[in-house]
Amino acid sequence: MLGDPCPCGSRLGYADCCGRFIAGDALPATAEALMRSRYVAYATRQVDYLRATWHPSTCPKDLDPEPSIRWIGLKILSTEAGAPADAEGWVEFVARYKIQGRAHRLRERSRFLRESGRWLYLSGDLSPD
């Protein structure tokens, strides 16, 4: 996977993009970078990374991504704040996935907080497509 394109759709290689965050070699500098890496973590079932990047006040106790979901694409629709010096930010995205060969879309506006220099996912509002 290290030489493959990153599943987040950035057009960078996995190791140069989200792979370094998931491996713990670097921290995402922006809310968007964290959101992309969390998408990749869902796609590759990296539950420890999802838990580590979820704000403790909203992280579910039972975090177990559905194994029948196959994530197939991510599109960032908009970002608001979320730069390296910001305290919070929002990222709206559409994630495409398949369950038993049937395509679906998840549209969400996610809220992120930066605490002690780390971006954390706080919550998300789902939007109808």
Q: What is the mean pLDDT of the chain?
A: 95
Instruction: For residue 76, name the pLDDT band (cuts at 50, 70, 90).
Output: very high
Structural domains in the chain, sorted by start:
14-127 (3.10.450.50)
Q: 2-54, pLDDT tens digit by residue? A: 678 999 999 999 999 999 999 999 999 999 999 999 999 999 999 999 999 99
CB 40 within 8 A of CB 18: yes
Q: Would you mind telling me the total number of residues written for the chain in this entry? A: 129
- pTM of the model as a whole: 0.94
State the Cα–Cα distance between residues 90 and 82, nearest whole angstrom: 6
DSSP 8-state symbol, 4: S
